Amino acid sequence: MKPLADRIRPERISEVFGQKHILGKNKVLSRMLEYGNVMNMIFYGPPGTGKTTVANIAAKVSDKKFYKLNATNASLADIKNIINDIDRLDSSKGILLYLDEIQNFNKKQQQSLLEFIENGKITLIASTTENPFFYIYNAILSRCSIFQFKPLSNKDIVEGLDRALNILRGDYNEKAISISEGVFELIASLSGGDMRKAIGNLELIVTSYSDLDEIIIDEEVVKNSITEKSVSFNATGDEHYNLLSAFQKSIRGSDPDAAIVYLAMLIKTGDIMSICRRLLVIASEDIGLAYPQAIVIVKACVDSALQIGFPEARIPLSEATLLLATSPKSNTAYMAISKAIKDIESNDIGEIPSYLKDGHYVGSDRLNKVKLYKYPHDYNNSYVEQTYMPSGLKGKKYYNYGNNKMEEATKLYWNKVLGKNI
């Protein structure tokens, strides 16, 4: 018998759970499939969100010969076999190829399809759990419409579980299957937005208790059967970088609660090095001179975390995260170096002033005019006015004081030294 998730698979767009942003009424993908106008498409999103289901529906409404490959185990020979069928009588209206997990095809394998996609003899529907802009050849991308599939809501999954239960009751028609209130919601919450996972868990629970005269599924049974929540937090791939990005932006936005949530999600990936690296970057990029000691404390927390290891490493990582999220913010150091690098890459920087050049060799005074150098510590406040900037960048300004207590105090000090009005 087929797995329950395959038996419950919708056969019409109206039966697909979720994805209303692309499959709702008058949405472009639903209209395309309604009228059988199947074009080259890439479906992008996490597992169990309907990508394969929609591809199967597209195959049914199309009048093309349908082939399905999984790039995990398919080869160039498999593609050639499909290409060889193009001019056969039963393929006269073209071929529809569904290529699952296309990110596992290398550039050569993807390019082998390009000619036939261009002349319309092959219509490609590809699916991937990774960002297509990172993994799919640009020439393929430019010829496909990209549709993003999102994790299903608990409400969507509950609807799917209800439909699945009706099928299971048919399988066990001699037995009563009772579901306590709130059980479907619990299974949905443990599925991580993955319909296939949720239905598989329901099937597992029912099968495990099928030796009983009556199958009663309550919250205790679910918790005993599903040992942990299904999570899609991986240490590699697009979602991992999304988590790191959300983590940094929450700290930058001074939201300690959101930052801790993303830290918890990152901890679940087990990738301690990425967390530590990101915390160290944030300390300089987003807090910077507003609280210069932050990087010292974060470095100590990071070193502690690396020495301790998980699970206890979560504690110093939490300390560092909360410190950064609640610290005053300044990106002046980041902006200054970014502007400077941009200028030296695009402008003629000219000569370094001769008196700033190395003078620790015999005869240097004849070449570099070292004697013209004014030693700042010989002057009041260890400051004397002289040109330090290379000749091509003279007058350029890269550092602007930030609007925070620390940098404002520094600005006040230098305004007094320089005799400026404030």
Q: What is the pLDDT of residues 159-189, one digit of tens each?
A: 999 989 888 888 877 668 888 889 999 999 8
The pLDDT tens digits for 375-385 are 899 999 999 99
Asked if 136 and 110 count as a contact pair (C-beta separation under 8 A), the reply is yes
Structure confidence at residue 216 as a pLDDT band (50, 70, 90) = confident
Q: Which of 222, 300, 299, 305 is nearest to 271 (CA)?
A: 305
What's the pLDDT at 14? 85
Which of 210, 111, 196, 189 lies closest to 160 in space, CA to CA? Answer: 196
Whether residue 4 has pLDDT greater than 80: yes
Phi, psi of 178 (to 5 degrees): -110, 135
pLDDT tier at 422, thresholds 50, 70, 90: very low
Topology of the domain covering 154-225: Helicase, Ruva Protein; domain 3 (1.10.8)
Predicted confidence band of residue 98 (pLDDT cuts 50, 70, 90): very high
**How much is the pLDDT for 237?**
60
Of 34-38, 41-45, 331-335, 410-414, minimum mean pLDDT range: 34-38
pLDDT at 190: 86
Q: Give me the pLDDT at residue 144, please.
A: 92
- Kindly state the tokens that stand for 50: 């309907």
pLDDT level of residue 284 (50, 70, 90 thresholds): very high
Mean pLDDT of the chain: 87
Q: What is the pLDDT of residue 312?
A: 94
Q: How far apart are CA 108 and CA 78, in angstroms?
A: 13
pLDDT (0 to 100) of residue 421: 46
| pLDDT at residue 43 tops 90 | yes
User: Fold for domain 19-148?
Assistant: Rossmann fold (3.40.50)
* Mean pLDDT value across residues 364-387: 80
Report residue 251 as tokens: 């700290």
Tokens for 143?
Answer: 């010829």
Of 70-74, 224-228, 318-322, minimum mean pLDDT range? 224-228
pLDDT, residue 189, reads 87
Checking if the pLDDT of 34 tops 60, the result is yes
Q: Which amino acid is at 276?
A: C
- Residue 105 DSSP label: S
Domain with CATH 3.40.50.300 in the chain: 19-148
In contact, 167 and 126? CB cutoff 8 Å: no
Which parts of 44-120 fold into alpha helices (H)? 51-61, 76-84, 107-118
Confidence of residue 363 (pLDDT cuts 50, 70, 90): low
- Mind listing the pLDDT tens digit for each residue in 128-138? 988 888 888 88
CATH architecture of 238-326: Up-down Bundle (1.20)
pLDDT attached to residue 261 = 95
**Does the structure show a pLDDT above 90 at 191?**
no
Count other C-beta atoms under 10 Å from residue 72's C-beta.
10
Distance CA 201, CA 4 (A): 10
CATH 1.10.8 in the chain, residues? 154-225
